[in-house]
Amino acid sequence: MSKHQTIGDGTGLHGRAITTALEMLEESQSRIPQLEDIAQVMDKRLDQITAIFPDSHSLIVAAAEQALVRLMDDCIKAVVKVDPDDAVAQFIALGEAYVQWAVTYRTQFRMMSDDRLIDTLNTPQLRRYLNSLAELMTRMLERARDTGNLSPEENIPLMVLSSRTFAYGLARMLVDRRMSEWWPDMEPMEAARLALNDFVRRTARGSYRRMR
């Protein structure tokens, strides 16, 4: 069973339409499938699809939202498994959950990264999940600062920006299968975890040194 089938499992026509659209998008990479084409592939009448999704954009937004729900769930589960007193380990766990999600939901990640397909940041239904993730990162870093693991002078919003930029770039390397070009001696996901671990720990050490 594919990851697209897993997302649509148990959700009837709604889920099967999303699954079909993602599979078609995976093949085309650059064009949102039209509802007429989705209905034809599914062997359904067009009015059966439009009764659920009025247009292709609403279907793609629903597909993206499903993936973002999984992202938030994966991130929270990863963080709560780590010692709450180990801020660095928690932040690494959060980053690992994100890059693993991007690889698992490769099509949705690419779709949400391409403004030609969907304007994620200007779609409130989707933007709220990204804002929630940024807020989670902010709370984690503020708690690390308040417990003495980061400098009191640390610029938390800038740290969040830097961390999100690094994690996105790392995820993009994995999704585009480019990681092995830069680190050929290691399995791509392991190389990504190594780079992520190094980035977070170097950042934490640099902040700690400023406290002394």
Three-state DSSP at 2 gives coil
What CA–CA distance (Å, rounded) separates 12 from 23? 17
User: Structure pTM?
Assistant: 0.88
Which pLDDT tens digit goes with each residue over 93-110? 999 999 999 999 999 999
Q: How far apart are the first and last CA of the chain?
A: 54
What CA–CA distance (Å, rounded) separates 205 from 184? 28
Which pLDDT tens digit goes with each residue over 49-76? 999 999 999 999 999 999 999 999 999 9
Contacts for 142 with CB less than 8 Å, ≥ 6 apart: 156
Q: Read off the pLDDT band of 149 (50, 70, 90).
A: confident
Q: Read off the pLDDT band of 6 (50, 70, 90).
A: very low
What CA–CA distance (Å, rounded) separates 68 from 74? 10
What CA–CA distance (Å, rounded) separates 140 from 91? 7
